[in-house]
Amino acid sequence: EFPSPYILFVTLNQRNPPLDDVNARLALNHATDRATLIDVVLFGAGTEATTFMPRGALFWNDELPGFPYDVAVAKDFLAKSKTPDGFKVKFTFQGGDAEATQLGTVLKDLWSQIGVDLELEPVEQGVYSDAYDNATFETMYTGWTNDIIDPDELVAYAILPESSQAFQTGWINEEAQQLARDGAAEPDPALRDEMYRRIQEI
C-alpha cells in the first residue's frame, strides 16, 4: 500500500544437486509467475522484484529486467541442466503461515509445468530456524527488510560469505564480494551507486 524497503523471496540452497546447477536455478526463476503470486498470495499489494535489494532502497538498480515469466525459456534452461527431465525439491516454510502455504501451493503448480515436483514441507519455528541457520533446506520462504537506509547491511548479508553465506545459499562470486567490501569503504556516493548497481547486475 506504500513504499517499503521489504522484499520476499524463495531462497535456493545451491550447495547440493539439483540446485547446484545454475541452469536449474534459472529454469525455476523463469517458471515463476511473480505477477500471479502477487495477485493471489499478496492480494495485489506488491511489485515484482528484479533484484535482491528492495525497490526504492538507496542505490537500488531500476534498470534490471529480472527474470520474466516464460515457460518456454524455463524449459530451455532445464534442458541444458544436469536434470533435463525435471527434479523433485522441497519447499520449507513455517507451518500455519497461510501466506507461505498459499505461495507454496501456487509455486507447486507453476513449477510442475516444467517437470519440477515441489514438495511442501511445513515445519515448526524451531525446525525452520535450524534449517536456515545450518543450511539444511533446499528451498525456503524468507524475506528481508532494511534496518538502515544504507545498502551495506543487506549487501554484506547477501554477498559476503562471512555474514550469512549469501542468505545461506552458498553462492560465491569474487567480483561481487570485492565490490561489496569496496562499497562499504567508498565515501563518494556516485562511485558507490556504480558499485551497488553492478553487484545487482551480477
**pLDDT value, residue 146:** 87
> pLDDT digit string (tens) for 52-95?
999 888 999 999 999 999 999 999 999 999 999 999 999 999 99
As a residue count, the chain comes to 202
Give yes or no for residue 116 having a pLDDT over 90.
Answer: yes
Query: Against a cut of 0.75, is the pTM above it?
Result: yes
**pLDDT value, residue 4:** 80
- Structural Rg of the chain based on CA atoms: 17
> pLDDT digit string (tens) for 154-168?
999 999 999 899 999
What angle in degrees, to the nearest 10, is found between the helix axes of 98-112 and 34-41?
150
What angle in degrees, to the nearest 10, is found between the helix axes of 152-159 and 174-185?
160
